[in-house]
Amino acid sequence: MTLFEFLIALASVVIAIALTEIFAGWGRLLRTHIVPRIDWLHLGWSLVIVLYAIQYWVGIWPYREIEFTLIYQVWFLIFPTLFIVLVSYAITPDVDPDTRLDLRDYYMSRRAPVFIGLAAFVATAQLADVIILGSKLDWISFSFVIIALLPAFTQRISIHTSVMVFNLYFILANGFGFNPAGNPLIS
């Protein structure tokens, strides 16, 4: 087993934990008395987090040719996966079937850990590319971190929506092979 195979296995397990938390959370929500039934903002951001987790996992592939010689290189490859797990736990309510839950209230109450964690995920993913692959840190990379922080500090739905649309646009554009920024966004 190569070191890359070892690292991708570790990253896969950690990302699987994040995805499992979100998908299990969706399943628990389907069994509860939700008021309102579905909150589009909470659901949209949950989807963005799922897409980021998958994109990061796939984005690890360019590291396959790298010879990891120092432990800090491994840290920078694994740290983003840890942040995406924390974000997944923060956005997913832990409810039992008899709970009456307003998802908008829950989402707004958890916005600081969700978006500070998301900004940390984006920042560490970008730093991994800089430190391990030697990529250049540009204004687009920096702007993603700043934009990810905005919803942490406001309850304005227009800000949350705008940042979600911004992220969805870039994730989907990257996923369908059109990268408007011209460089990989997350690995």
Q: Does 175 score more than 90 pLDDT?
A: no
Per-residue pLDDT of 85-137, as tens digits, reads 999 999 999 887 777 788 899 999 999 999 999 999 999 999 998 888 888 88
Q: Are strands 100-101 and 33-34 parallel, antiparallel or unpaired?
A: parallel
Whole-number pLDDT of residue 185 = 46
Listed in sequence order, the residues at least 6 apart from 55 whose beta carbon sits closer than 8 Å to its beta carbon are 171, 174, 175, 185, 186, 187
Give residue 52's identity as a one-letter amino acid code. Y
d(CA 15, CA 18): 5
Per-residue pLDDT of 154-169, as tens digits, reads 999 999 999 999 999 9
Q: What does the block give as tokens for 88?
A: 């997944």
Residue 152 is classified by DSSP as: G
d(CA 164, CA 148): 9
